[in-house]
Every structure is written in structure tokens, then in C-alpha cells.
Structure 1
Amino acid sequence: MNTLSKIITWKRNILASMAILVALVVLSFYGVYTNQFYFFKPDNYIVPILTSVHFIYLYVVWFKIVEDELPDPKMRNIEYALYTIMIVYFFKIYDSAIVLNSVDVYGEHVIPATFKPMAALILVLYCVLPILTLYTFWLRKRFIGVYNFENYNDNLNIWQ
């Protein structure tokens, strides 16, 4: 894991996660069957709302590493919320795989030429996102520290 952390540094991981999140937010409005964007469907706003928690967590990790701060209860709560959001990411992986494999079901219908490349891109992005997120959790443990709040007040030095 140490050689992996030399190749994919914490900055690269956070920037790659942000780039994937931005791409998935844009692609959440995209309809692969019709090759159009749908901004008036309420279902399309689920991923952008949930990724806002992910963006906040990435900002907090970046800030804590740069400022060399200890983890706090607010960061822990955001990370725990991100654990539950990971379930939605895994569902989106499943859903994207179903959509990609449905090309045979709709064989006699007119499907745009961009169907397979876009559906594959969405599936790959959703598959990479949990891997980067789990790696971010590992980086948080390595650079910021574990969540140990039993003696949290003993570790504070207000005169620093």
C-alpha cells in the first residue's frame, strides 16, 4: 500500500475524486437511451445532492491534511454519512450495468450510437468512485489519524 500512496498521492486522489464527481453530476442528467439531457426529472437530482456530502468530505480531508489537524466529531459524522452514500454508489453501479446490458432487449428499437460508449463511461466512473473513496478513508487514517474521542480533551493543547 505504501508504493500505491507514492503513485496516487492524497492530492491526486482528491482531485481525481472531484473530477469523477463533477462528471457524474453532469451525467446524472443524461439519458443514454435518448442522447438528451433531462433537467426536469426529480430523480436526476439525487446524485448531485448526495455528492455534495462527498465534496464536503473531500474538502475537510484536504484542509485537515494541509493544516495538520486532528480529526473531529464533525468530520466523523460526515464520513459516516458518506458510508451510507456508498450504498447508493453501489446501487448506481448495479443500475448502470443493467442499462448497459439492456442493449439486447431493445435491439429492434432505435438506439443512438452513443449508447454503449456513454453507458460504459458511466459504469466505469461509478466503479472507480468507491475505490477512490475507500482509498480516501485509508488516507484519512494515515495522514489525519483515527477517530479516538475517548481522550480527545486530553490531546488538545490550547497554547499551541
Structure 2
Amino acid sequence: MALFRILPWKALVVLSYLLLICLIVLNFYGLYSNRFYFFKFDNYILPLLAVVHFIYLFVIRFKIREMEYPDPQMRNLEYVLYIILSVYVFKAFDTLFTVLSYNDYDHHLIPETFLPIGITIFILYLVLMYVTFSLFLFRKEHIGAYDFESLNEKIDPWP
């Protein structure tokens, strides 16, 4: 069942904003060391990709408020977001594999926050992916499908 049938679109957009902000902050966190790493280049990939996600959320809000139809730019942005979702899937499974490696390092000193924060990060990624797919379905039902062949029929050239 799609989440957009339960929650209004504004709640989905706000939830996406909150999830992205939390995951960006936690992206700098090192599970094994219990420290934040701001000087690793890899930690800046997710925030850069999240910019596209933020833009897509803005476009969704704009299209709903202005009652506009989807356009090719929105379609291209959504297609880029599909690719970014694959990065979210990778990050989620990377976090899951890190959390599942807990028993491999039981003879090492692992912080007490390892499991709770690792599981939280994994769940946040899963929820973000689910909310994003719900927004895709919401866009298709409420804003419209990407049918550009009949776009000229929907536009009234006379004011």
C-alpha cells in the first residue's frame, strides 16, 4: 500500500526533507570509531546527490501548488532520482553488512552505539526509499503521467 494514500503530500515532502537531513548528518558518522569524519571525500557524495532529491521535492510542491502538468525537465529530474535511489540502496545494504559484521569483530573494542546507530541508519534508508517511491506514485496520480504527446491538448493558448 502506498504511503501517499495514508499521509497527505505535504507530510510526505516534509518527511523526505527530515530523512535526507538525518541521513546526510549520519553519513559523516563512523560506526566503528564513534566519530564524525568531515575530511573524507566519500562522505560528501551523498549530500551532493541529495541536492537532486531536494530539487525534486521542490518541483513536486511547485507543480501541486500551481496545478501544473509534468514537463520534460521534471521527467529528467525523476530519471536522475531513479539512479540516485540505486545509491540509496547501495548505502542501505552497505550499512546492513557493516552492522552484520558485528560478530566478526567481537574481539575488538566496538563502541556501544554501533548497533543502535547502525540499525537506525539502515531503517532511515529503507523509509527514505519507501517515501520516495510513494512520491513517484503520488506524482503519477495527482500531477499526471509523462504523456507529452497529448500535452498540447491540455494547454489553453488563450487567456
- Place the TM-score, normalised by the shorter chain, in its bin: over 0.9
Does 1:104 find its partner at 2:103? yes
SS of 2:53's equivalent? Answer: helix
> How many Å separate the matches in 1 of 2:123 and 2:99?
11
> How many Å separate the matches in 2 of 1:81 and 1:153?
25
Higher relative contact order (CA 8 A, sep 6+): 2
Note the alpha carbon deviations across 1:45-76, whole angstroms, 9 max, x for none: 11111111111001100110111110011000
Structure 1 residue runs without a partner (length 5+): none
- Give the match for residue 128 of structure 1: 127
Q: CA RMSD in A?
A: 1.4
- Give the match for residue 80 of structure 1: 79
> How many Å separate the matches in 2 of 1:151 and 1:123?
42
- Give the match for residue 61 of structure 1: 60
TM-score (norm. length: structure 1):
0.94
Note the alpha carbon deviations across 1:104-150, whole angstroms, 9 max, x for none: 11111111111111101100001111110100001101110000111
Q: How many residues align?
A: 159
TM-score (norm. length: structure 2):
0.95
Does 1:33 find its partner at 2:27? no
CA contact (8 A) 2:29 2:35 kept: yes
Letter in 1 for 2:51: S
Counterpart mapping for 1:10-49 below 5 A? 10-49=9-48
Letter in 2 for 1:54: H
Counterpart mapping for 1:109-120 below 5 A? 109-120=108-119
> How many Å separate the matches in 2 of 1:94 and 1:5?
25
Structure 2 residue runs without a partner (length 5+): none
Q: How far did residue 6 of structure 1 move?
A: 4.8
Letter in 1 for 2:115: K
